[in-house]
Chain A
């Protein structure tokens, strides 16, 4: 059997809100390592990889590896029924075709359980190679979300360029152009407000803003976002999930023909 218990149930709610519009169905893999998921959007332009390590849960039991096929919109519907302070337990017995979500209020005076039917999903697992990135930008996640939102009111694509000057986000559309430059800034009171740019090589890549805005739905999960860029690879937009793992979004670039 498989069982996990998470006192900070709001975290699972946030994870679902971050991915439910990007991916329709996905296999959630449960192993001794933890609870993980990898899935592409329907057009295979973006990939999301989620890992919640077993040590991060208050209770985690996985007798044997299982893969649970889940419709994310339906899982999000169920998790919406959990209170923000609720303790969440997820349970699946071997050989059954459903998974149970149990929500306990902090004072234990309300206990709900929801059973979600599992589905057979033909998903392709992709091997993501370890890569040395040309540039890695760490910045406040809210700032990144704001930039993507602002630029999408002007254009459909964003050019992200990293140079010695900083990281530049540019777009163009019918009404004109926009450029937003963020410089490295480590002289802030709080580390979560810092912008740190590690550059090995200058890099400039073009991406669809629609996807960036979708990734930014993970903003409530982490105060900082890490953007890793290489000229011949998909960008990685990573949100760390406190002490537990991460949600990583990979986005294939737009390439000049």
Chain B
């Protein structure tokens, strides 16, 4: 099963 990634693994915190 594919695993759900998160937004924070793509976009960095400012």
Residues of A within 8 A of B (CB): 40, 43-47, 124-129, 157, 206, 208, 233-234, 250, 252-257
Provided the pairs A124-B13, A125-B13 are in contact, do residues A255 and B5 lie with their beta carbons within 8 angstroms?
A: yes
Query: A126: which of B2, B3, B7 is its contact (CB, 8 Å)?
Result: B7
With an 8 Å Cβ cutoff, the count of chain B residues facing the other chain is 13
Q: Do A47 and B3 have beta carbons less than 8 Å apart?
A: no
Q: List 19 A–B pairs whose Cβ atoms lie within 8 Å, in order of A's numbering.
A: A43-B6, A44-B6, A44-B7, A47-B11, A125-B13, A126-B11, A127-B13, A127-B14, A208-B4, A234-B7, A234-B10, A234-B11, A252-B7, A252-B10, A254-B2, A254-B3, A254-B5, A255-B3, A257-B2
Q: Which residues from chain A contact B5 at a C-beta distance below 8 Å?
A: 45, 252-255
* 7 pairs of A and B residues whose beta carbons are closest in the complex: A254-B2, A126-B11, A252-B5, A44-B6, A125-B14, A47-B7, A256-B2
Inside 8 A of B12's CB, which chain A residues have their CB? 126-127
Known A125-B13, A125-B14; judge A255-B8 contact (CB<8 A): no
Contact A126 B6 (CB under 8 A): no
Give the docked Cα–Cα distance between A127 and B7 (Å): 11
> Separation in Å of the B11 CB from the closest CB of chain A?
4
CB <8 Å contact, B14 and A250: no
Nearest-neighbour CB distance to chain A for B1, whole angstroms, equals 8
Contact of B2 among A43, A129, A157, A233 (CB under 8 A): A157
- Per a CB cutoff under 8 Å, which of A45, A128, A208 touches B11? A128
Q: How far is the CA of A255 from the CA of B6 in the complex (A)?
A: 10
CA distance A208 to B3 in the complex (A): 10
Residues of A within 8 A of B6 (CB): 43-45, 252
Q: How long is the Cα–Cα vector from A132 to B5 in the complex, in angstroms?
A: 21
B14 CB to nearest chain A CB (Å): 5
Whole-angstrom distance between the Cβ of A248 and the nearest chain B Cβ:
12
In the assembly, what is the distance between CA of A157 and CA of B4, in Å?
Answer: 10
Q: Which of B4, B9, B11, B14 has a CB less than 8 Å from the CB of A254?
A: B4
Instruction: Tell me whether B7 and A45 are in contact (CB under 8 A).
Output: yes
The CB with the most chain A CB atoms within 10 A, among B3, B6, B11, B14, is that of: B11
Report the separation of the CA atoms of residues A44 and B7 in the bound assembly, to the nearest whole angstrom. 6
| Contact between B3 and A257, CB atoms less than 8 A apart | yes
| Least CB distance, A30 to chain B, in whole angstroms | 18
